[in-house]
Structure 1
Amino acid sequence: MKNLLVLTLLMFTFFASKAQIKVDSVALNKKRNVPVTQFGVASFYADKFEGQRTCTDVVFTQKKLTAACNTFPLNVWIKVTNLRNHKSVNVKINDRMHPSNPRLIDMSKSAALALGYTGHGLTKVKIEYLGKNKPDEDDIADNN
């Protein structure tokens, strides 16, 4: 009887720990979690992609604050901070990059302008998960 109680307690602990939501990660799918904060290199879309459809079937425009990212789920908002000048902007992930692309994120030109790196082409960034809901308009761009 005592062994059965211990076994039941161990099984409950195991399954309860699997069901808990991790505070420091975002569920991308059932097999993998993604860190809420990531660091890497950002680029921006070339003008030739203007008017083409993204993988979420939205027509891409350089004027909107959007981005392509392979690590975060589609249709979520993230905060991107340029680590060179500490400017930040909130963008919606609505596309994916080619799997062989080594960069963390590819942003629209308006997002890259808000971060101040269009003259460099690439910059080191920190990206943070914000969620599925659009941030308040006052929080869309923070250009310190």
Structure 2
Amino acid sequence: MHLKTSARRAFFTVAVMTAFFHQGAPASAQCGKASWYASHSRTASGERMAPDQRTAAHRTLPFGTLVKVENLNNGRSVVVRINDRGPFIRNRVIDVSRGAARDLGFIGAGTARVRLSVVNGQGTVPAGACG
């Protein structure tokens, strides 16, 4: 079979991406750094951002996924609904709304070490070292 260069390139890209995203079993928990944000603009899902609701932005989880976010520094936790994409800052795993950050106790600090776990089974969080 003879493929044009662009078709070969596309096939190779799909193969590499498939291998990258299926490196192992889906993880049930992801740990990393969380930050918070508050605006009144539209989210990636199309709804208006409501800073006092318990919502969050995640890079890959489907919109509507419920995620338990646990602050590893103080043990507080909250369940948020994914309705936006982000965070767009390196080394962060989730951006939560101001209301969720208040519940988690890190408004003043701006960031916190957290553990994420999917509550409603709509997706799986990428593996992340917890410790």
Same fold by TM-score greater than 0.5 = yes
1:111 to 85, 100, 103: 100
User: Runs of at least 4 residues of structure 1 off by over 6 A?
Assistant: none
Unpaired stretches in structure 2, ≥5 consecutive residues: 1-20, 123-131
How large is the Cα RMSD of the aligned pairs? 1.9
Shift of 1:71: 3.5
Offset at 1:100?
Answer: 5.3
**Correspondence for 1:126:** 115
Q: Which stretch of the first structure deviates more once superposed, 67-76 or 53-62?
A: 67-76
Superposed displacement of residue 125, structure 1:
0.2
State the distance in 2 between where 1:59 and 1:79 align.
22
**Counterpart secondary structure, 2:119:** strand
TM score, norm. by length of structure 2: 0.69
Q: In structure 1, list runs of 5 or more residues that go unmatched.
A: 1-30, 134-144
Compared CA separation, residues 112 and 102, structure 1 to 2 (3 A): same
Q: Within 2, Cα distance between the matches of 1:120 and 1:99?
A: 19
Of 48, 57, 62, the residue aligned with 2:51 is 62
Other-structure match for 1:97: 86
Alignment TM-score, normalising by the size of structure 1: 0.63
Q: What are the superposed Cα offsets for residues 31-87 of structure 1, whole Å, 9 maximum, x if unpaired?
A: 646422110000000x4x2x2111110100111000001132221000000000000
Between the two structures, name the one with larger relative contact order (CA 8 Å, sep ≥ 6).
Answer: 2
Question: Rg larger in 1 or in 2?
Answer: 1
Q: Percent identity?
A: 35
Counterpart position of 1:15: none
Cα pair 2:87 2:95 within 8 Å, conserved: no
> Which position in structure 2 is the counterpart of 1:35?
27
Which has the larger share of strand?
1
* 8 A Cα contact 1:75 1:132, kept in partner: no
| Aligned mate of 1:76, from 61, 65, 90 | 65
